[in-house]
Amino acid sequence: MRRALWIEVRRSSLLWWLPLILGFQLVMLFFRSYQWEFAWSEASAAIGVAAGISAPLVAAAAAWEGTRWHRSGDLSVFHHHARFAGAGYLLHLQSILLLVTVPLSATGLIAWAVTVSASGFGLLWPSYLVFALAVQWGIAGFGYTIGRLVGTRLVVPAAVLIVMLGLMLLPGGHPFAMMSINGASGMTLLPQAVTARVAIAAVLLALGLLVVGKHGDVWVRRWPGWSLVAAGTVVMIVAAQTMATGGPIHRPRDAADITPLCTRTAVEICVWPDQAGFLPELTGYAHRLETLSTVADVPDRYEEANLAHDDVATFTLQSSTGSWIRVTGLAFWIDADRYPTECSPDAGLDFATWASQSQQLTVWYSHWIFGGPPPPGNGGGPPYDRAAMAELIAQPERAQLAWAGETRDRLVAVRPCDADGD
């Protein structure tokens, strides 16, 4: 049987599609707008995104293979010589699945190697890989099924358009999505979301074997009969209902038994164990926070938001949010409890000036932690005087710290009342 499968693989037109599918997946993997290799969860999700976006190509390749019997008059060289009637169809479908799995496996191995080089040895998350494989096999089953149903070559662009429409209408995170964009370490895929896609893929692959195709005046008979088609329909309905009622495909990860990975600094910044690749960046931030603690109240410990326990400063750590969001999250907690809660009518300065200086100081905290101005395209947050900030951060660090200390002492000493007396 192995030799027969190898013969089917060698005569499959998918061999010509392999470089295109693999190349497209690698482009989607490496030309994203952020680096995923610093967290194993994000690397796993990135593989799924590459697999999901390449789904139209998989559908096209499988649809073209599904039309082989219409084009050549014989689906498989073993169709008339196999031990049972459906063996030829089964071999054909197996060869399609094998060739569809090859580029996904190569993409996964490359992503794993890159992540190991950036984060140390670790493992990809199985749930994301099963999710991606189920989507790829399900799309292959869909393309193969309509290819066997329809003899015209127009089925290939039709399959591409249908799958592309699904990608556009069902974005990542949607209950029926074909990929998961969110690879945050504090979130996991819902087991029912993965199971439902595996079930749908199995039904679509079975339909590829059961469907009636036509060549000339000859109809291919359904060898298993209507009972399996009915059973498959029920499975599809149950799976679709499971996805619809499950809501978003993620759930918070349980951090109760997790030992955080922390920077070896006086000000600790702690993350999930699989986010080890971020530690060099976070260690630099921690050192600058230590220096900042000489003029401001800095928390002794930060934890990633989904990992955090009660009464601990938190921040969001995810590649897609960028470094600047991370430092603004760290800066948010500086002097968090030091500002007066009650206003004073004898503050000596008006509320607008006090608020403006407070915002300027808060933004400077972010600049200080980051070690300079924000990257291009970043810099969001409260409004501030950008020209004054550029002039300030160009000064020596000692002068910046002196300004910060004086400004902070003035702001936390008293809060003026606004126009409403609050």
- Residue 82 sits in which domain range? 2-252
**How many angstroms separate the CA atoms of 292 and 138, rounded?**
54
Same domain, 186 and 243: yes
Residue type, 348: G
Is residue 163 a contact partner of residue 204, using CB atoms and an 8 Å limit? Answer: no
Same domain, 211 and 348: no
Same domain, 173 and 290: no
Same domain, 219 and 355: no
Same domain, 168 and 141: yes
At residue 143, the 3 state secondary structure works out as: helix
Among 201, 233, 252, the domain-final residue is: 252
Same domain, 322 and 359: yes
Same domain, 204 and 67: yes
Instruction: With respect to residue 421, please indicate whether it lies within any of the assigned structural domains.
Output: no
Among 218, 252, 286, the domain-final residue is: 252
Same domain, 243 and 315: no
Residue type, 289: L
Of 210, 256, 215, nearest in space to 233 by CA? 210
Helices (H), 293-331: 322-331
Tokens 């002196």 locate to: 402
Among 219, 252, 285, the domain-final residue is: 252
Instruction: With respect to residue 376, please indicate whether it lies within any of the assigned structural domains.
Output: yes
Cα–Cα distances in Å, from 276 out to 38, 317, 328?
Answer: 7, 11, 21
Same domain, 299 and 220: no
Instruction: With respect to residue 419, please indicate whether it lies within any of the assigned structural domains.
Output: no
Give pLDDT tens digits along the chain (422 positions).
677 777 777 777 788 889 999 999 999 998 865 678 999 999 999 999 999 999 999 999 998 888 876 665 555 444 544 454 456 677 778 888 899 999 999 999 999 999 999 888 999 999 999 999 999 999 999 998 888 887 677 888 999 999 999 888 887 777 788 888 778 888 888 888 898 889 888 888 887 777 654 444 334 444 445 556 666 667 767 777 766 666 678 888 888 788 899 999 999 999 999 999 999 999 999 999 999 999 999 999 999 888 867 678 888 888 777 788 889 999 989 988 887 777 777 767 778 888 888 889 999 999 999 998 887 766 566 678 888 988 999 999 999 999 999 989 888 887 787 766 55
Q: What is the CA radius of gyration of the chain?
A: 29
Give the distance, in angstroms, between the CA of residue 368 and the centroid of all CA atoms in the same chain. 30
Same domain, 230 and 271: no
Same domain, 131 and 37: yes
Same domain, 248 and 270: no
Is residue 384 a contact partner of residue 363, using CB atoms and an 8 Å limit? Answer: yes
Domain count, the chain: 2
**How many angstroms separate the CA atoms of 159 and 58, rounded?**
9
Instruction: With respect to residue 389, please indicate whether it lies within any of the assigned structural domains.
Output: yes
